[in-house]
Amino acid sequence: MATLVTGIGELTTNDDELGRMRDAALVLEGELVAWVGPAAEAPAADDAVDVGGRAVLPGWVDSHTHLVFAGDRTAEFEARMAGEPYAAGGIAATVAATREASDPELAATLDRLADEALRGGTTAIEVKTGYGLTIADEARSARIARGRADAVTFLGAHLVPEGADADGYVDLVAGEMLEAVAPLVDAVDVFCERGAFDEAQSRRVLEAAKERGLAMRVHGNQLGPGPGVRLAVELGALSVDHVAFLDDDEVALLADSWHGGRGTVATVLPACDLSTRMPLAPARRLLDAGAVVAIASNCNPGSSYTTSMAYCVATAVLQMGLSVEEAVRAATLGGAVALDRDAPRFDRHGQPLPPLGRLRPGARADLQVLDAPSATHLAYRPGVPLVHAVWRRGEAVLR
Ligand code: NIG
């Protein structure tokens, strides 16, 4: 079954050859994009949808979320807005609530937020564990995430659980806990920050992941300067996320990591920076230096309780100095690169995985139609729900 989407006023493809097109059309076949070109040259298809001159762009690829959790941290947010600083310790409250929750309760919260994200144009999502912090609770978080996410990341090294010895806990995370979750996850992450895990502890967790052939990610340089970025680049992590506190050498390190091969993506989390009243990550400096930047929501109940990638994109434009084109690319193709899904891959069972983040033949047919003539309206009309239609894996999920 092939569907022709025509009447596209402006098409963002993220493809170097196709670029940004006017009066375009595309054909979706199965879960893939089959054809992209001028509307006047569009081939016939079984079904046709005219989007009436609206803008079409790839669905958001949200490469950093923490959606397996229970509980509420409104009071912590209110205290922060009244002047309290954000601190890693708040994670413990969500850990306690998550351990108390049943599997169906956790899955229902994940589904509610993933559905909300989908209505907002997010067609691919990464979900982290990290609110269980026992072998059983991390394994069930990973299982629940697997039921919904495009990529699952093990974040047992999120916080040292209350009462535990830090080095003993790192032994557990890098040993038995990793062993239990490894078949369920695509990557391993560590919160490398004062108040969470130091450089040596973070290195142990990441090296254990690497030995098992799992991809690595780092939460780094979020609350102050630290070793996270250097460690991520040295070990070849797919991404280092937050990156609010970067010196010039770290910016250069991230840019240089792409010379001669795949490097480390700098993932900025604008909604988190605002919600924690921390400095905004230097996305402009990173792009100017030649780094690869992704924008993600970091949806979690503590530091960034939003699924809205459009809000993150508008913030990146209005407050971080990115152009709309750069911000849209970072929130689509940038996320795909951070997930190592910008090219065809195979899943853990050997099944092919089509690329994400671009609209070109062979890519996964994930797209959003804005109720606007151009993607510029994402920043020109911030806060306005502009999503008119969404296709995910070639299926209309909102139309
Ligand atoms: O990415 N920084 C660490 N982890 C999450 C926050 C989790 C929380 O506060 O519950 C983040 O911001």
**128 beta partners:** 153
Task: Show the domain range for 14.
Answer: 2-58+357-398
Report which ligand 1 atom has the smallest distance to the Cα of 64. Answer: 1
What is the structure's pLDDT at 87?
85
**60 beta partners:** 122
Count other C-beta atoms under 10 Å from residue 38's C-beta: 13
Statement to judge: residues 90 and 7 lie in one domain: no
Tokens at residue 96, please?
A: 């306690």
349 is in an annotated binding site: no
Residue 106 · residue 98 · CB < 8 Å: yes
Q: Please report, as a single letter, which amino acid is at residue 300.
A: N
Q: What is the pTM of this model?
A: 0.98
**Ligand 1 pocket, 94 CB below 6 A?**
yes
Q: Residue 141 domain-assigned? A: yes
Q: Residue 148 domain-assigned? A: yes
64 is in an annotated binding site: yes
Residue 244 CA to residue 221 CA, distance in Å, equals 6
CA distances to 246, 251, 259, 346 from 281, in Å: 8, 11, 23, 33
CA distances to 68, 144, 215, 255 from 107, in Å: 7, 6, 25, 38
Q: How far is the CA of 192 from the centre of ligand 1 (A)?
A: 11
What DSSP line would sit under 51-88, residue for residue?
-TT-EEEEPEEE--B-----S--HHHHHHHHTTPPP-G
pLDDT per position as a tens digit, 164-211: 999 999 999 999 999 999 999 999 999 999 999 999 999 999 999 999
* Cα 206 off chain centre by: 19
Ligand 1 pocket, mutate which of 277, 303, 305 (most atoms under 8 A from CB): 303
**Crossing angle of helices 103-119 and 135-146, rounded to 10°:** 40
**What CATH number corresponds to the domain at position 241?**
3.20.20.140
Q: Residue 352 domain-assigned? A: no
What is the structure's pLDDT at 240?
98
What is the structure's pLDDT at 140?
98
Query: What is the signed CA dihedral for 60, 287, 240, 197, rounded to 10 degrees?
Result: -130
Statement to judge: residues 234 and 252 lie in one domain: yes
Return the DSSP state at 89. Answer: G
Statement to judge: residues 134 and 273 lie in one domain: yes
Return the DSSP state at 39. Answer: G
**Ligand 1 pocket, 226 CB below 6 A?**
no
Statement to judge: residues 49 and 95 lie in one domain: no
Statement to judge: residues 313 and 373 lie in one domain: no
Count each helix (H run) and each strand (E run) in the chain, helices first.
15, 18
pLDDT per position as a tens digit, 283-327: 999 999 999 999 999 999 999 999 999 999 999 999 999 999 999
Ligand 1 pocket, mutate which of 66, 76, 192, 243 (most atoms under 8 A from CB): 66
Statement to judge: residues 220 and 301 lie in one domain: yes
Q: How many domains does the chain have?
A: 2
Q: Residue 336 domain-assigned? A: yes
73 is in an annotated binding site: yes
- The residues, any chain, with a CB within 8 Å of residue 74's CB and separated by 6 or more, are none
**What CATH number corresponds to the domain at position 28?**
2.30.40.10
Statement to judge: residues 259 and 370 lie in one domain: no
Statement to judge: residues 120 and 252 lie in one domain: yes
- By three-state DSSP, how is residue 376 classified? coil
Statement to judge: residues 241 and 269 lie in one domain: yes
H/E element, 232: helix 228-235
Where the chain has pLDDT below 70, the residues are none
Return the DSSP state at 253. Answer: H
| Residues in the chain, total | 399
β-pairing verdict for 187-192 and 215-220: parallel
Nearest alpha carbon, ligand 1 atom 5: 303
**Backbone region of residue 277 per phi and psi (left: phi > 0; alpha: psi in -120 to 50; beta: other values):** left
**Ligand 1 pocket, 219 CB below 6 A?**
yes
CA distances to 75, 92, 107, 138, 292 from 95, in Å: 16, 5, 16, 10, 32
**267 beta partners:** 241, 294
What is the structure's pLDDT at 348?
81
Radius of gyration (C-alpha) of the chain in whole angstroms: 20
222 is in an annotated binding site: yes
Tell the burial category of 182 from Cβ atoms under 10 Å away from its Cβ (0-12, 13-18, 19+): middle
**Ligand 1 pocket, 302 CB below 6 A?**
yes
Nearest alpha carbon, ligand 1 atom 9: 302
In 3D, which of 288, 222, 223 has the Cα closest to residue 251?
288
